[in-house]
Structure 1
Amino acid sequence: MKFKVIADSCCDLNQEIKNKMEIKLVPLTIHIGDRIYTDDENLDVKELLSVMKSSEAAPQTASPSPGDFMREYEEAENIFVVTLSSMLSSTYSHAMMAKKMVLEEVGNKFIHVFDSLSASVGETLISMKIHEVLKTEQDPPKIVEKVNEYIKSMKTFFVLESLENLVKAGRISSLKGKIASLLSIKPIMRGTEKGEINMLESVRGSKKAFKRLVEVIGEQGEKLEDKILGIAHCNSFEKALKFKEEVQKRYQFKDIIIVETAGISTVYANDGGLIIAF
């Protein structure tokens, strides 16, 4: 195998993407109280949502070890890795540590780790971009250059239906969480250029938040006809489909993909959450 694309398990895929391209996922783990879940194909997301809801403890996530990445680095001459934003997880640093250790043992191998500056479907789009570039470019440094340009231009937004996990984690006070719930406040969040998560604005009511997220695409996006819109939903396919339909009425994206959140993205988005990237 000459080229290999690897991502951590926050890279959300659907069956069509899996059939079209090879993306090897390295799983993170999720800890809720005394329960530990591996974020792989065996994880039951609905069970995870149920356990998160019933537990008083905030869910915690743990990155793959450098050894987990090293095992995946063995097979190909040229390896491209996509990870969660380094501002959100230690996954990027573990992937880089693995790169250093492998190259100390084997010199004739190319490994590049992309900091997605994003998560979920943002990682998905970057992985797809690598495969797209590979169709016309075989020089690894040039591939890295083109994909880095794409990462720099990509934007990520998401809407939360529930603030429950943020309250449990202490990021929002219990009082503020209760007030937001009573007033049906829905935060619209964004990924920054550095890969951090910031509040874009708060909207009252799910319908208004949904509409506002559609509007944000037009306000923040450029040359949409050349881009793919990625939509990730947490246990909310009908909402994602409706969002796609509303976007198609207003904008001309090159393509629109819908994926369901796996474990790590589910912890971030929680039930009913919607994540978009373009």
Structure 2
Amino acid sequence: MSYRVIVDSCGELTDEMKQSGMFVSAALTMQVGEYHIIDDETFDQADFLKKVAECPESPKSSCPSPEQYLAKYNCDADHIYVVTLSAELSGSYNSAQLGRNLYFEEYGEKDIYVFNSRSASIGETLIALKIQECEEAGMDFQTVIDTVEAYIEGQHTYFVLENLDTLRKNGRLTGIKALVAGALNIKPVMGSTPEGTICQKAQARGMKKALVKMADYVEQETENAREKVLAISHCNCEQRAKDFEKILLEKMEVKKSIIVDTAGISSMYANDGGIIVAI
């Protein structure tokens, strides 16, 4: 059986995933002042961060249309899986479901399933890789779905950013009480809730202390670490990501560890210097 995994572009695809032919990206778009930017292979992170720094308004994002998903479903694959940004943070999940309904109306039934990652960025990447692992193990369509949904239940996402302005201004931090002013160089350690919203775990003065605190949370909250893949994405701060990986791997043993640079949407929300972790 052939399969295809569609990941909305908030999820980073590694070079290996891009080359495999099994993974495709559904592009979100971004608006920075008068600039309209598509989050696809043309995305230029350095140019984007420069535009954001120079623009007085906060950047905004739009999810892929149902029609874009519909076009990606129209392929030869027998099994199609979609991994989207948390439905609590974006319309991408609903859009993918609408695209699925459109496909059924136009072409008839097909094995298409949309996963709500309840995460973002590198969390989506790990879910996509889990789908591949299940398919390659020869599982049937429903068993893949059940296995991956159980994996999502046990996944945790964390992040520390230089600033939370874009998340706040775009309404992604609703329900979080008072975040301490940036003047004190306080860096909140943020995480995902089981429902896929964002919560504050802790805070520390300065990025280094915040990363150490985040590593503590990752270690404490990860069960069966040796069986899991650790994934780190960074926005224009590779050395910081490597330093964080070192801190974490001194605390715990994992099956594998990967580091990637953030794509467009993750770069927009993480901002220059942000670190996102999923396991």
Q: TM-score range by the shorter chain?
A: over 0.9
Q: Determine the structure 2 residue equivalent to 1:265.
A: 266
Deviation, 1:247, is: 1.5
Q: Determine the structure 2 residue equivalent to 1:111.
A: 112
Structure 1 segments unaligned to the other structure (5+ residues): none
Cα distance between partner residues in 1 of 2:170 and 2:90: 15
Deviation, 1:171, is: 7.4
Q: Determine the structure 2 residue equivalent to 1:52.
A: 52
What TM-score, normalized to structure 2? 0.93
Superposition map of 1:166-205 within 5 A? 166=167, 168-169=169-170, 180-205=181-206
Letter in 1 for 2:217: V
After superposition, give the CA deviation of every residue in 1:52-75 in whole Å (9 maximum; x if it has no partner).
Answer: 111111111001110000000011
1:5 aligned counterpart, secondary structure = strand
Q: Answer whether contact 1:57 1:168 (CA < 8 A) is retained.
A: no
Letter in 1 for 2:160: V
Cα distance between partner residues in 1 of 2:210 and 2:31: 30
Q: 1:32 to 1:220 in 2, by over 3 A?
A: same
Cα distance between partner residues in 2 of 1:16 and 1:139: 24
Deviates more, 1:267-276 or 1:179-188: 179-188
What TM-score, normalized to structure 1? 0.93
Cα distance between partner residues in 2 of 1:81 and 1:161: 31
RMSD (CA atoms): 2.0
Cα distance between partner residues in 2 of 1:197 and 1:13: 23
Q: Determine the structure 2 residue equivalent to 1:10.
A: 10
2:181 aligned counterpart, secondary structure = helix
Percentage of identical aligned residues? 39
Cα distance between partner residues in 2 of 1:19 and 1:49: 27
Q: Which runs of 4+ in 1 moved over 3 A?
A: 166-172
Would you say how many aligned residue pairs link Structure 1 and Structure 2? 275
Cα distance between partner residues in 2 of 1:70 and 1:156: 29
Letter in 1 for 2:126: L
Q: Answer whether contact 1:56 1:168 (CA < 8 A) is retained.
A: no
Cα distance between partner residues in 2 of 1:246 and 1:21: 34
Cα distance between partner residues in 1 of 2:278 and 2:136: 23
